[in-house]
Structure 1
């Protein structure tokens, strides 16, 4: 599962909600009393009641011990009948389990099939701990009654972690594997999607039954059912169908969004030495999805953030990493599955690392280095040093879906690859996938495969990185011996536990660079290297492989040299931020301007964001350089940043450049140009903003909000209100969040009932989507603030507005 950075990682930081790891209870793999063999379902959706009427034929056998009892997970279901060989069976069921008395004692070699007639009631699913209605419904009806004209009616499922048992009885554990077939009855206007192949469709009046069949084995949490009015855009990989299910509005952009998928399948198949193991590959985009995306086998689901238009895709495809991530799960997660949630990293760390692999293959060195830095930086910012990658003592299984399992795990795999070498790394992955295909595994089995292939004992690596906590926090110092012409690099680890690791150190003599690879195996280590002339820079962690934090004393001249000569994006970025602090010195300012030519576009952007142009008259050359970037940089995001930088000058001479930028196909450029123009020619910028088509206004919500808030245009409050929650909590930088906080205060005290309605509707949707992360509590507090503001005001709509807000609060609390 991909939990979008903007929709979870940043969200977790903003709402300050983290899961404590206080439990000492060992979280074991689910005991296997029975093994699932095959699952056959017939389901009929009840849109009015948001329920599902189903029939299930579950084939099982005892795992080892003979038994005459069967327990299935079946959350909030009404069980109508249970039979075996047409014989009615005694059963009991509560809100969580279906307990069945079998007609005899079955041995481990005997398969049997129970038939269950049931009604699934996802709206009544309860949390096991609190016993109150849960946000994790498993089966989600979107706009079921069709009242909302701005949202299509859809039904979709979310199985991870234990959501599948909300819509069919099963053993809802990752260490189970079953084949499946499903008959889905829906009105004729809807398309359906499930795992495997669509075998046939049978019409019956206004309804139709689609029969989907999946012959291979996979875990119950990977089952998927999707229903809605979708366009199906067809693609292929070799003879395998590759399809994209999107709403009609986005059909023209589907191949731009998802079109790299066949190439990704080929690349991953070749890289792993294991051909794509499934019969098809479909991706579907749904509304109000509860996460970023999910790797349901052959039927991947994406949230609506995947939808992008040409004006956005020209800047970047923000979904591409997620597309790679979910695809790679079809080897790591779907083909070989973590036997328990404690071992989730065997799924998510590999999927995270696939993003690195794909970007390196498709876009090259500079691009993947930018990705690598940002991936690690999210982990460092997340304050997760108290958690190990493999965890057996979490409080809740949902705790495992964090920056350790994803970002740190991906970085650990990169370190393992660097240590054993490329050939051994991918040979080991091939052996692991081949040995455990259609089965489950734990981290020790991965280690044993690597040891078998490489001949190395890797207990130290796995104990340190998979089962240990934290990362090296290193203090670096240097001792120069000018007589002997040597430099000694001192490495002092400051964290509690001592790590051992390979470490790359570059010694620069002028621009000549010499790489030294050493191995650190103690808390305090020193390495001495010769030189011919005084080194101009010592660059530690020179290859950027080690996941660590480094402290060292450098002066401005060191950072300027590093900015100009370091190979890695992360090192140049570090240097740029330090150099930018000293721009009162001419050489520092010039270095920042020179960084605008850096091959990494995010360095160019960072230079534009940090350049000091206060004394414009003395910096004409720099401004000319920025004007060039604004009009001709090959990356539209750099053009946008350059326009934003020029806009800060509030100089009417920039107006022709800004007007030209308004003709750009890039929405990033267009948005920055509108804001910049506003401070030069307010009436014109305001007029241009009002003239934009609605679909463009929606995408440019943030820059337009800035213009409308600055201009005190209350007529636009209903438009602004639709983006406030996302702007305050889920997207953007601190400046964006501050902007939407201003907007929230303005709307909460306003007399505009439409704006109030739009804001609380958005809050209810977001609160329900992220209830499992307690975001609903944040939203409820915001609503309370709105009530207080309304009750203090003299607005004529006060009573009506307060009623709207309180009704919405009740929906979230129930």
Structure 2
């Protein structure tokens, strides 16, 4: 579904039957939780005693209700050892106090329990026939409401308590949890670890990890910084986590509030369900982020590490009051990924990271659904953890930085964090902090960007009027506008230069260039025409330096103007925008400017976007430009060149790709080249693609590229190799790539569709590898065959909330696709054929013109 100015039919976020969600009533305040834990990794069992201290909020409190899923409760006692009555019903544990509590009265009780084969929350990892190299580990993942699967608790982010753990494990294993390691004692064949955290956390931030790990220790000032990895991965751990102390220093200086806990640790575990989890003082990371030296050339763990570290302030020190306010956790952590990138790599990298946020959000907004960032219409909290919550919110914070200005923005962030330490927060707390720090009332800002879905879709043009010495700037909001969807309100900054710089400066930042005049125009209507007085025709017009406004923008300008931007504007996003417009223009001026930028632009991000724009043209001159750029030095730019070459089914494109697909210093360049080679449908591709399935690379990057290439080849011989790579026992990244390839192959190979669909439906219920199951659902959606609906319905009604929404969305899209008239499909086929015929005709005309 495309997003344009004529539609109001974005698919709704709320699925059928969704109800508004609100936080629970609270009769008690949980003050402290102490866990005594005995994990049995072989039996996949946890025995525990959970001691909870509460304080009555309301008067005459005679019981407390805790969340407890599949926990076998053997008894409950008060602090004196007296047995208390309890009952279990509907995944809740009700504990009756010995007597009613008066308001403010405290009470302590202990629950003895066990859990075997927990469904979620606590995960046991062990070697097996299919994966004999797996380590023996146990770890928890409690977000969003899965702590209840491994200890009885008030499993809600607004409830915060101090926390301590005693963990008893076989000697030789290491146990890890939140806070300081107070003691480690060996008692016979067992080791006993005691951890204490004197600062409050929420249940979803609690942690338990057990396994064999090697430790590395660092410091940021007085704060100990550690990370733990499997002993054989020590060097990979240094590559992945080595900048942690630097990040902590950057964040402390930017926020103006010290790191809140007495220490910080990260532990990399096997088969982790997500990238990382910001457990207070003790982050759990996926071991998928550990990488070798060759991968390090164009892969970094820094975004993941920075994200989880930022959560120690935004999520742990300040915790969202309820899940509808989760942007105060996730959007801030996403934004601070970019903040560290700016400090470490420069302003251009920061801006390009923010552009990536915008693109990711816009893709979800146009292809999946539209929703406000703050939203309490959801079935499960996990449904909210999407590109709106992460990337759109991060881009909104970048916009707030531009709206307030550098000094006021950071002063406001400091006030927000300082005023709300160890508290539950909602958006209004941020608004109040900005008001206190700046005097500005930004309630309109949060109403528009946080409480409302969507974004402005702009077209912008300008022309110089020599007679009146005016620059006439027209700005139009193209998105649908009506009483319920008023025009967006924002400030757009314009920069005017009488002389154009000779070349774009790297990492220039937001300051005006020498001789640049800055103007700010207020946008609040569907269309504006501004007449800006100038002393002569500007040599360079800069639109929104810093790309602060969250928007999509079509810049309507002659190719000479666009070429000037591409050659001179220090803002990489402006250059990228100009490059996209030039590629659509295709004039001689455009061709020359794009060729030069592809090879010479000082920032790899611009080179990569130019390559992408050239690929989309599918023009002969673009193919020649890309073929000449396969040796660009930066691997990320080279990767983009390889990917763009996949837009041509030609011998020339294949010849440019074959060397990169065979060997390159970068795994990722090879993977991109292999996929693109498959798209060329070249006769030499099949054998190379099959051979590269065996190429050894970190995270199977090269083999995954080969699988995608085999799918694109539309060769029935490839199906067996794809299906063989899907089976349980293959490396998890390879299985996920194979499932994606299977979905694509089924779309291209009609005769193989039933075979592929049968293979996918047969394994869709297999939940042993969560990310693989999600990839299977995505593949079924890509095929779009109604025969997948029964298995998707089964998954939607299943017990795992992480799977239910993806299955529901896939089913909805398949059903929508099945309702499209056959005539419409035929018309689209005819249109595609006509477009292809026109493209070939244009290529022949261009070839004749060059002669």
Could you say which TM-score interval applies, normalised by the shorter chain?
Answer: 0.7 to 0.9
Cα separation, 2, equivalents of 1:145 and 1:685? 33
Cα separation, 2, equivalents of 1:572 and 1:757? 46
Aligned length: 752
Q: Please state if 1:410 is matched with 2:431.
A: no
RMSD, aligned CA: 4.3
Q: CA deviation at 1:176?
A: 1.3
The range that moved more, 399-408 or 640-649, is 640-649
TM-score (norm 2): 0.78
Partner of 2:471: 487
Q: CA deviation at 1:718?
A: 7.4
Cα separation, 2, equivalents of 1:777 and 1:714? 19
Partner of 1:500: 489
Cα separation, 1, equivalents of 2:746 and 2:183? 50
Cα separation, 2, equivalents of 1:380 and 1:760? 34
CA contact (8 A) 1:724 1:740 kept: no
Q: CA deviation at 1:683?
A: 11
CA contact (8 A) 1:728 1:738 kept: no
Partner of 2:68: 74
Q: Please state if 1:93 is matched with 2:88.
A: yes
Among residues 21, 24, 37, which one is paired with 1:27 in the alignment?
21
CA 1:116 to 1:239, structure 2 compared with 1: closer, same or farther past 3 Å?
same
Among residues 449, 453, 456, which one is paired with 2:440 in the alignment?
456
CA contact (8 A) 1:76 1:94 kept: no
Q: CA deviation at 1:488?
A: 3.0
Partner of 1:764: 766
Q: Please state if 1:553 is matched with 2:574.
A: no
- Larger relative CO (CA 8 A, sep 6+): 1 or 2? 1
Partner of 1:263: 246
Q: Please state if 1:637 is matched with 2:639.
A: no
Q: Please state if 1:123 is matched with 2:118.
A: yes
CA contact (8 A) 1:145 1:153 kept: no
Alignment of 1:656-675 (within 5 A): 664-671=664-671
CA 1:688 to 1:407, structure 2 compared with 1: closer, same or farther past 3 Å?
closer
Among residues 314, 332, 337, which one is paired with 1:350 in the alignment?
332
Cα separation, 1, equivalents of 2:470 and 2:742? 50
User: Per-residue displacement from partner, 1:494-553 (whole Å, max 9, x unpaired)?
Assistant: 432233222112345562753311223444444321123334665433431011233453
CA 1:480 to 1:739, structure 2 compared with 1: closer, same or farther past 3 Å?
same
User: Per-residue displacement from partner, 1:432-455 (whole Å, max 9, x unpaired)?
Assistant: 222221221221122112111212
SS for the counterpart of 2:196 is strand
CA contact (8 A) 1:89 1:103 kept: yes
The range that moved more, 586-595 or 83-92, is 586-595
Partner of 2:810: none
Cα separation, 2, equivalents of 1:439 and 1:86? 33
Cα separation, 2, equivalents of 1:474 and 1:686? 43
Partner of 2:609: 606
Cα separation, 2, equivalents of 1:621 and 1:714? 32
TM-score (norm 1): 0.81
Partner of 1:322: 304
Q: CA deviation at 1:138?
A: 1.2
CA 1:714 to 1:346, structure 2 compared with 1: closer, same or farther past 3 Å?
closer
Partner of 2:726: 721
User: Per-residue displacement from partner, 1:129-186 (whole Å, max 9, x unpaired)?
Assistant: xxxxxxxx11122237787303223221111111111111111111111111111222
Q: CA deviation at 1:349?
A: 1.5
Partner of 1:473: 457
Q: CA deviation at 1:222?
A: 0.2
Q: CA deviation at 1:308?
A: 1.7
Partner of 2:823: none
Q: CA deviation at 1:106?
A: 1.6
Among residues 592, 595, 602, which one is paired with 1:593 in the alignment?
595
CA contact (8 A) 2:60 2:100 kept: yes
SS for the counterpart of 1:589 is helix
CA 1:621 to 1:244, structure 2 compared with 1: closer, same or farther past 3 Å?
same
Q: Please state if 1:569 is matched with 2:569.
A: no
Q: Please state if 1:705 is matched with 2:703.
A: no
CA contact (8 A) 2:583 2:614 kept: yes
The range that moved more, 328-337 or 291-300, is 291-300
Among residues 136, 148, 161, which one is paired with 1:178 in the alignment?
161
Partner of 1:215: 198
SS for the counterpart of 2:294 is helix
CA contact (8 A) 2:371 2:453 kept: yes
User: Per-residue displacement from partner, 1:353-410 (whole Å, max 9, x unpaired)?
Assistant: 1012111111112211211111011111111774222223444322321222211211
Partner of 1:366: 348
Cα separation, 1, equivalents of 2:470 and 2:571? 25
Cα separation, 2, equivalents of 1:620 and 1:781? 33
Unaligned 5+ runs, structure 2: 1-9, 502-515, 789-793, 805-851
Q: CA deviation at 1:744?
A: 12
CA contact (8 A) 2:576 2:610 kept: no
Partner of 1:59: 53
Alignment of 1:217-296 (within 5 A): 217-296=200-279
Q: Please state if 1:167 is matched with 2:150.
A: yes
Among residues 394, 397, 409, which one is paired with 2:381 in the alignment?
397
Cα separation, 1, equivalents of 2:272 and 2:690? 36
Cα separation, 2, equivalents of 1:787 and 1:520? 50
